Structures are given as C-alpha cells and as structure tokens.
Amino acid sequence: MKKSTRIASYIAIFGVVFSTGLLVGNSLPTHSLSVQSNGDGSTALNSILNGMSGTTQQLDLKPLWAVKDILEEKYLDSNDLDGTAMSYGAVRGMVYALNDPYTEFMDPQDTMDFNETLNSELEGIGAEMSIRDQLLTVLNTVKGSPAEKAGLLPNDVVIQIDDQITLDMPLLDAIKLIRGPKGTEVVLTVIREDRDKPFELTIKRDTITLESVIYTEKEDGIWHVEVNSFSDDTRLEFIRAMNEIKQKSPQGIILDLRFNGGGYLNGAVDILSAFVRGETKVVTIEYRDPELRENLLTDGAPQFPDLPLVVLINRGSASASEIVAAAVQDLKRGVIMGETSYGKGTVQEVDPLPDGSSLRFTIARWLSPLGRELNGNGIEPDRTIELTEKDYENRYDRQLEEAIKYLQNL
C-alpha cells in the first residue's frame, strides 16, 4: 500500500463533503509499505508508539495501562470494554494533543471513507469545509452545487448537522453526516458573521462533478481562466487552454483561483511556468530535517511571460492556490485581487498502518519566493474587493468585473 504525501487542505479539497485531499505529486518523498489488516486496534497503537522511539521526550505510558487495568477490573458493564475501540481512542487522544487540525488518526473505516473521497465524482452537497478554532467552517462551495444554490457561503460556521452538534466533532465524522445519497436532504444550522442568530439551510444532495479548468473570452481580448482544482487532469487541461488562448492574440488573462482548495503541488508550479520567465524559484518546502529543504523552479519556457495578469483569490483559495498567488505577488508578475486567502501553508502525509487504519500528519511547511510563511495568515490581495451577501444572492461577480476593468485600462 502506497504512503501518500498530500498538500492542500486535506479537509477541504473539492469540498470534504464529497471529496478531500489530493496527492502532492513527485515533489515530496514517498515510500511503499506492505501491510496486512487484522482489525486489531492495538496494532495501530503499537505501530504509532514504535514509530515514536526517537522522540525528544519519552512517552509515559503508565497512566494509560493503569486506566486500562482499572476499567477491566472495576467498570460496571464489562461487555462495553471493547479493546479495539479503546486502543483507537487512545491513539486519537495522543494525536489530538498535538493541537494540529491537519494531523488526524483514521481507523480502518475512516480510512476507507477517506480513500473513497478521492473519486472525482461523488454524491454530497459540494461544499469545502475545514476545522478552524474547533469550529466546522465553510471554505467554499462548488459553482452550481446544491450548497451554492441553497445559499451556503464561505466562512459560514456549521454548528449543527441535522440533530448533531458539531462542536469538537472530528472532521471525518462531519463528512459522514453531510454526505449521502443523491436526492436526500441534510439540514445545516449555520452562524454567519452579519446575522444576529443561527439559521437553518436545507440542502438536497446531488452528484458532484468538477471541471478542473474552464476558460472563456470576456471582451477586448481578455480571457477568464478558472482553475478549480490542482488534480490529475489540471496540467493537461491548463496546457490545452493556454495553447488555444495563445492562438487568439490575448490582451490579458484573469487567473481565477477563488474557491480552489489546492491539490498537486506540481500543478501549481506548472501554472506559474506559463507566466514566469527563466528557471525561477516559486516555492520553498521546509522539512523537520533542514537538509531536506527544497526549492521548486519554473521550467523556463513561459507561454505568456509579459501578458498582463490578474489573479483572483478569496477565503476559499488555499494551499496550492496560495502558492501560485504568493509567487505572482512576490515576483511582481501580476496583480492579486479579491479577498484574503485561507492561509494553508503546511504539507501533510498519510501513512497506512498494519490494521488498515492510517495516520495523516504534518511533515513540512511551504514558503513563498521571498520567504513568507502564510499558514494561518493567508495572502493579502494587492487590491481588496469584497463580495457582499447581496452580490452572492444576485450572482453578481464584482471581483471579476473589477479585474476586467483593470486590464482594459492598462
């Protein structure tokens, strides 16, 4: 079973409601691990403990074993003492103590559910979500999705799913509650910044598909290129789009990364290679071991090295999207417009464990070309343009219109 290295908010890629994290590609180290599943939760616990033999502070496991012995001897209903469930609970507690929302233990069922979410087409509501300050927060909604049609907005906080309170709820548990068969409904109770009290949204689930790259000519030779994800198909779709646009004598490009939660790191570098001259550093990856520090460069063969460029971002732009926007900003290759991005600047890896469970954990951080660390901060646009709730309701894209006007006036 292959150990997968992932960048982008695993919790959010394509919307955790119907899909989650994406592989980083070949830029980070990976290795293979042969495993057998025996369904014993103690295997997961032992695997993780054995892997921590080199920790700076040794774990004191005496309280763990003491609690186990007390429960086995004195707990009222001995039939409730499920060794597997207790072992998994111990592992979850250890991982939770790191206070890292991107590090999480997944039992065998969670792992299977997670792998299923890597499919390009699933059934759900089409909303990207994350955990922020222990709150289930909407990162973005897919265009045309049930979530968007119902009025769910970025930065909404979901405090209840049907009759289940979400405070301190693990992300995967929230995913399971929100996902469901096409045609069924889920009721989300939402807190929104400009509303006085929580309100409910009833959303009918549907099949969610996502085109990776969509491009249209607007006016005066200005092209709007939407990159909705950095997935398997993004590179070829983007190259196809650039080749066609080049034949049309473009006067400017609007690279739209709004609501793009990230994906393959190499996809971000490929996109930057279309606009940046030379073999230029566009992102630095820092690991625990300083000797593994890595600079990723563009390919030196840009199609549009001088074409006016606007990059649109918002609170739903995360990870690989932020790598693109940060590089464009640092290198002064274009203008960043829209809203402050999400602020996801770490890299996760998924290690399978012998019993079929897995551990997702942070292994690196990425820095912009000028060394900016954006995790938790996001990218401030050069020109801030906020969309109001009324803009969303009226489907008026103020940010896109301002980008078009900016390029027209150059």
Active site members: 319, 344, 348
Q: Cβ–Cβ contacts within 10 Å for residue 236, how many? A: 12
What's the count of helices (H) and strands (E) in the chain, helices before strands? 11, 21
Task: Output phi, psi for 236, to 5 deg.
Answer: -65, -40
Between strands 309-313 and 335-338, the pairing is parallel
Question: Does residue 368 sit in helix, strand or coil?
Answer: coil
Task: Output phi, psi for 306, to 5 deg.
Answer: -120, 0
Between helices 83-96 and 41-50, what is the axis angle to 10°? 40
The two structure tokens encoding residue 111: 């792992």
Buried b (16+ CB within 10 A) or exposed e, 67-85: ebeeeeeeeeeeeeeeebe
Burial of residue 63 (number of CB atoms within 10 Å: 0-12, 13-18, 19+): exposed
